[in-house]
A and B are shown apart, each in its own frame.
Chain A
């Protein structure tokens, strides 16, 4: 009897000692995790940030970034080109080694000079860091080639910091298979490629106590299977928005709860127009195409009305010009432009020919793995047919869709647009320089002038205004025509864990949902 009481006591103490929920949390993600480094393709930053940290947090998208691994990021001088970064003391890597300024210096130089990854252009191009020097054990100084007034709230919130002692000798980072060590709230305890990733809480985390001791992350590509697994009780969260048609059925289940439901203002679905191809190279023609599109109808038919329509980039972003409008919903005005440009129906078949009288047929590419995009493509094709264009929807596999886009072999294409492109002010410059919205070398004097203005802007205000001017110019003849911004609902099992916080641009599965903050939940992390 006495020994049972002792055992029960030990069990109780063990349970109380755990920071929250003792049972492993089971989460499904919609991609396969084969590795977990900033060089692993296709990983969302939220997953990466469970293991690694950035100098500032939570995100570069909403203008709310505050020092995180840093304690202060302050400008030096008046030209907006230099910053001094002071780091937290006492932070340790998961393997026990101390985190110091040399790790940050190494990481920034490694990103800038080494093999590129998805984030490196934030130190090698926009902005381009020319000096990255340590000052002492916990501080460093960086200098940019041109003004970089957004460094503290964008660049610093964009790049995860790597441990120098493990990465120093790595020449081919895409092939790295060393220990997965970060400073983040979770450490990798097991990664079985194709099956699961297991994370364990880092109880010494500087940013708060992880509320879940252990997380199993399964890789389920097919959303129907993932939500079936959630309903069957095999998962506690599907870290992907609920498809519109499943929102009602899941909302009625007593064992599940939903969070989010607000509009996801920095994630959307867009129609991309190939400005390298005639007639889309003509700004007036692009404007007419935008006018012919009725995004409200697309939203109703595809997302069952769950979302909002809006311009590119997202109005919810503090970096987007307030009141920005995208031309739309005016097929008559569109038809007038087409007529004036000489695109008329000369043979009476209901379809327009080009000014030389040759028939026109556009192809609208869409990925086979995106059923909602396919529905959107059908609606868009119909809307364009209503103004006299024959648009063929061409469903291709996702790799081909991506390849056709990057090699510019398309007329029109429907795809997702992520917060990185919708709400990152530095990324806007990348977009107009490297192919998404325009590209270097293609004549556009008006744009070139605005790019020059943007580059010399040395304050946040001046940079923001320069960004507004670029957005305004894009809206006149859009290359990215926003179709809709969907509402993002996330379904989970509240009995397992009920602390999910939907943050725009980050979803719910991120470290801000899993931390117990010392001074209460910050305003930006509240649902």
Chain B
């Protein structure tokens, strides 16, 4: 009973977070000065009569009082109707659905690569016991992580696309060949590398710290006293335990990286959600911006739920803790 209550409280917490996110998502674009008619008509929007302006806003349901718009917004979310994009003239869900796979490809590949590389580097950091080498490794990783993704992207284009001619500068697939696996892979390499490079340091720092904790545990000392080699201790004893916070970060990073694609997708003219969001903000396309942000909010909350479940599965002590609390 107690455990059920705890779970119910958690679910209620998630619902409140979702509601707060959705409400902020509704209010924030409306706090900006101006309205989307300025984008639809351009510089001549000033000459519209108020009746014309209202008629245009009515097409997108924006002529109604704020509270009515809010009520309509919440009920539409429940029906999975995110409205109609002003810039695209299509249902937002359709527009997002067309772009989501491209971003999932970038983010999915980048997360996996960043975690593998970050974790391996953290293991390397602990395995190489020389202080100077460890410091150099730390400095290098942090240095690359501090570079602005915009700059990294442009340098990558200049080197690998313009100078060497190995990779394409922009887009998600070849225009002539169409969407083939080879073409998609080829076009994704530079944006994935740019995103990955920016995310490795945070994985590395978390993995390094958790490995350090794990290496200080008693059972590791026991393993050492039984003559286990440092590499075996690191990989067999410390790494599995150190993975727990990393898995947590893995789930959380999905939402973070989804938001982080705005710059990378703009630099590489990559037709994903980030570029869509950027174009939506430029156009004050409220329904579209709300739709994309809502997706981000949902993905972060879902990632949290997934991380919670995984944590308990990975570390039985947490389940015991939960039972004790119940």
Q: Hey, what's the 0/1 contact readout for A389-420 against B, CB within 8 Å counting as 1?
A: 00000000111101110110100000000101
**Contacting pair A228 B162 (CB below 8 A):** yes
Is B33 on the interface with A (CB-CB < 8 A)? Answer: yes
Checking A24, A225, A406 against B269 with a beta-carbon cut-off of 8 angstroms, the contacting residue is: A225
CB-contacts of B233-287 with A (<8 A): 266-269, 271, 275-276, 278-279, 281-284
**Contacting pair A434 B47 (CB below 8 A):** yes
A229-B170 CB under 8 A given contacts A174-B59, A403-B34, A404-B34: yes
Is A116 on the interface with B (CB-CB < 8 A)? Answer: yes
**Contacting pair A433 B47 (CB below 8 A):** yes
Q: Hey, what's the 0/1 contact readout for A495-511 against B, CB within 8 Å counting as 1?
A: 00000000000000000
Is B44 on the interface with A (CB-CB < 8 A)? Answer: yes
Q: Hey, what's the 0/1 contact readout for A471-509 against B, CB within 8 Å counting as 1?
A: 000000000000000000000000000000000000000
Residue of B nearest to A37 (CB): B89
Is A430 on the interface with B (CB-CB < 8 A)? Answer: yes
Is B86 on the interface with A (CB-CB < 8 A)? Answer: yes
Checking A172, A194, A420 against B43 with a beta-carbon cut-off of 8 angstroms, the contacting residue is: A420
**Contacting pair B46 A406 (CB below 8 A):** yes
**Contacting pair B55 A115 (CB below 8 A):** yes
Which of A4-12, A117-125, A298-306, A334-342 forms contacts with chain B? A117-125
Residue of B nearest to A175 (CB): B89
**Contacting pair B279 A116 (CB below 8 A):** no
> How far in angstroms is the closest Cβ of chain B from A8?
23
What residues on A are CB-neighbors of B175 within 8 Å? 24, 26, 195-196, 198, 216, 218
Checking B35, B162, B269, B279 against A220 with a beta-carbon cut-off of 8 angstroms, the contacting residue is: B269
Which of B69-77, B119-127, B153-161, B317-325 forms contacts with chain A? B153-161
A221-B266 CB under 8 A given contacts A34-B87, A399-B283, A403-B32: yes
Residue of B nearest to A31 (CB): B279
In this complex, the interface size class of chain A, counting residues with CB under 8 Å from chain B, is 35 or more
**Contacting pair A193 B269 (CB below 8 A):** no
Q: Hey, what's the 0/1 contact readout for A220-235 against B, CB within 8 Å counting as 1?
A: 1110111011011110
Residue of B nearest to A32 (CB): B279
CB-contacts of B82-99 with A (<8 A): 84, 86-90, 95, 98-99
Is A202 on the interface with B (CB-CB < 8 A)? Answer: no
**Contacting pair B59 A399 (CB below 8 A):** no
Q: Hey, what's the 0/1 contact readout for A175-199 against B, CB within 8 Å counting as 1?
A: 1110000000000000001111010
Q: Hey, what's the 0/1 contact readout for B15-43 against A, CB within 8 Å counting as 1?
A: 00000000000000000111100111111
Is A42 on the interface with B (CB-CB < 8 A)? Answer: yes
In this complex, the interface size class of chain B, counting residues with CB under 8 Å from chain A, is 35 or more
Is A436 on the interface with B (CB-CB < 8 A)? Answer: yes
**Contacting pair A218 B269 (CB below 8 A):** yes
**Contacting pair B40 A41 (CB below 8 A):** yes
Q: With the chains together, A41 CA to B176 CA distance in Å? A: 28
Is B48 on the interface with A (CB-CB < 8 A)? Answer: yes
Q: With the chains together, A434 CA to B53 CA distance in Å? A: 14
> How far in angstroms is the closest Cβ of chain B from A229?
4
What residues on B are CB-neighbors of A464 within 8 Å? none
**Contacting pair B39 A234 (CB below 8 A):** no
> How far in angstroms is the closest Cβ of chain A from B194?
12
Residue of B nearest to A24 (CB): B176
Checking A41, A121, A174, A194 against B98 with a beta-carbon cut-off of 8 angstroms, the contacting residue is: A194
**Contacting pair A225 B43 (CB below 8 A):** no
Residue of A nearest to B46 (CB): A435
Checking B46, B55, B165, B279 against A232 with a beta-carbon cut-off of 8 angstroms, the contacting residue is: B165
What residues on A are CB-neighbors of B41 within 8 Å? 41, 116-118
Q: With the chains together, A506 CA to B46 CA distance in Å? A: 25
What residues on A are CB-neighbors of B230 within 8 Å? none
What residues on B are CB-neighbors of A435 within 8 Å? 46-47
Q: Hey, what's the 0/1 contact readout for A199-242 against B, CB within 8 Å counting as 1?
A: 00000000000000000101111101110110111100000000
Q: With the chains together, A433 CA to B47 CA distance in Å? A: 8
What residues on B are CB-neighbors of A196 within 8 Å? 171, 175
Q: With the chains together, A233 CA to B38 CA distance in Å? A: 37
Q: With the chains together, A234 CA to B171 CA distance in Å? A: 11
Q: With the chains together, A222 CA to B191 CA distance in Å? A: 14
> How far in angstroms is the closest Cβ of chain B from A156?
19
Is A421 on the interface with B (CB-CB < 8 A)? Answer: yes
What residues on A are CB-neighbors of B220 within 8 Å? none
What residues on A are CB-neighbors of B268 within 8 Å? 225
Is B169 on the interface with A (CB-CB < 8 A)? Answer: yes
> How far in angstroms is the closest Cβ of chain A from B158?
6
Q: With the chains together, A435 CA to B46 CA distance in Å? A: 6
> How far in angstroms is the closest Cβ of chain B from A15?
18
Give the residue among B56, B86, B275, B282 with the most A Cβ atoms within 10 A.
B282
**Contacting pair A177 B89 (CB below 8 A):** yes
Is B118 on the interface with A (CB-CB < 8 A)? Answer: no
Is B45 on the interface with A (CB-CB < 8 A)? Answer: yes
**Contacting pair A218 B89 (CB below 8 A):** no
Is A35 on the interface with B (CB-CB < 8 A)? Answer: yes
Is A385 on the interface with B (CB-CB < 8 A)? Answer: no
CB-contacts of B304-324 with A (<8 A): none
> How far in angstroms is the closest Cβ of chain A from B120?
32
> How far in angstroms is the closest Cβ of chain A from B54?
12
Q: With the chains together, A76 CA to B34 CA distance in Å? A: 43
**Contacting pair A228 B44 (CB below 8 A):** no
Q: With the chains together, A23 CA to B26 CA distance in Å? A: 47
What residues on B are CB-neighbors of A115 within 8 Å? 55-56, 59
Is A128 on the interface with B (CB-CB < 8 A)? Answer: no
**Contacting pair B47 A232 (CB below 8 A):** no
CB-contacts of A40-75 with B (<8 A): 40-42
Q: With the chains together, A194 CA to B276 CA distance in Å? A: 8
What residues on B are CB-neighbors of A118 within 8 Å? 41-42, 44
Checking B43, B44, B59, B162 against A175 with a beta-carbon cut-off of 8 angstroms, the contacting residue is: B59
**Contacting pair A403 B88 (CB below 8 A):** no
Is A109 on the interface with B (CB-CB < 8 A)? Answer: no
Q: With the chains together, A1 CA to B34 CA distance in Å? A: 71
Q: With the chains together, A513 CA to B37 CA distance in Å? A: 33
Is A375 on the interface with B (CB-CB < 8 A)? Answer: no
> How far in angstroms is the closest Cβ of chain A from B60?
9
**Contacting pair A121 B170 (CB below 8 A):** no
Is B172 on the interface with A (CB-CB < 8 A)? Answer: yes
Checking A35, A224, A421 against B154 with a beta-carbon cut-off of 8 angstroms, the contacting residue is: A224
What residues on A are CB-neighbors of B275 within 8 Å? 32, 194, 221
Checking A121, A218, A220, A402 against B39 with a beta-carbon cut-off of 8 angstroms, the contacting residue is: A402
What residues on B are CB-neighbors of A92 within 8 Å? none
Q: Hey, what's the 0/1 contact readout for A262-287 against B, CB within 8 Å counting as 1?
A: 00000000000000000000000000
Is B6 on the interface with A (CB-CB < 8 A)? Answer: no
What residues on A are CB-neighbors of B38 within 8 Å? 402-403, 406
Checking B46, B161, B165 against A436 with a beta-carbon cut-off of 8 angstroms, the contacting residue is: B46
What residues on B are CB-neighbors of A455 within 8 Å? none
What residues on A are CB-neighbors of B48 within 8 Å? 116
Residue of B nearest to A220 (CB): B269
What residues on A are CB-neighbors of B90 within 8 Å? 175, 177
Instruction: Identify the 6 closest CB pairs spanning chains A and B, nearest first.
Output: A403-B34, A434-B47, A194-B271, A435-B46, A229-B169, A403-B33
The contact sample of 7 A-B pairs, CB cut-off 8 A, is: A41-B283, A172-B59, A175-B84, A194-B271, A397-B282, A402-B38, A420-B43
Task: List 13 other contacts, CB 8 Å, given A115-B55, A234-B169.
Answer: A26-B175, A32-B87, A177-B90, A216-B175, A218-B175, A221-B275, A222-B267, A228-B154, A229-B170, A397-B282, A400-B33, A421-B43, A436-B46
Which residues of B line the A interface, CB within 8 A?
32-35, 38-48, 52, 55-56, 59, 84, 86-90, 95, 98-99, 154, 157-158, 161-162, 165, 168-173, 175-176, 266-269, 271, 275-276, 278-279, 281-284
